[in-house]
Amino acid sequence: MTSSPRCSPSRPPRIPSHESGFTLIELGLVLLIIGVVLALTIPRFQDRSHAELLSQARRMAVTFRFLRQEAILDGRTYRLNYDLDQQRYFVTQAQNGPGQAAFVPAEGILSHGVTLPAPVAISDVSLPLIAGKLHEGVAYTHFYPDGYVDLTVVHMDNGQEAYTLRVDPLSGRVYVTAGYQDFDFSA
């Protein structure tokens, strides 16, 4: 007779105690890392208006520098137009020929106007030698072929903070500073 092998009841395999899961220290470290990453990234997503304001201020400063160079290179007068009611700015150029007092929309890369995205806005434009400080309507900065630029101060804000752009008339240099700064040009 053959003996049949004895069947033993099946038992679950035994797991060594050192592989039983995560320790409290490991879970705590993971939660700490996640907390630090969230603390660093969430404020950046919430404060998009600051980044947008700074971006638009820099964009306008680049436009100032570009227009001055274009006026010198082309030998024609350009005008940066600020529509304070519509919160946009655009470029026009003087017509060549006998009727140079007329300005027409600029051509090429300059033909596209810029509409400021909310909440960014132009608070005011100060043209101390021409029109004073304007809060509404349309204002202009002229860029002449000899490199001269109308003295201009532009204040941009987002409802919480402001930037001031000031153009030096002789050098054409644009100064962008944080905060709303008034200048006394009477002296």
State which fold the 48-178 domain adopts: minor pseudopilin epsh fold (3.55.40)
- Could you give the angle at the alpha carbon of 80 between the alpha carbons of 142 and 73, nearest 5°? 65
Strands (E), the chain: 78-83, 88-94, 103-105, 114-115, 121-127, 132-134, 138-143, 152-157, 162-167, 174-178
pTM of structure: 0.72
CA 173 to chain centre: 19
Tens digit of each residue's pLDDT, the chain (187 residues): 555 555 556 666 665 555 667 788 988 899 999 988 888 877 665 567 888 999 999 999 999 999 999 999 999 999 999 999 999 999 999 986 555 568 999 888 878 899 999 999 999 999 988 888 999 999 999 999 999 999 999 999 999 999 999 999 999 999 999 999 988 766 5
DSSP 8-class letter at 66? H
Domain boundaries, the chain: 48-178
Q: Are 94 and 78 in contact (CB under 8 A)?
A: yes
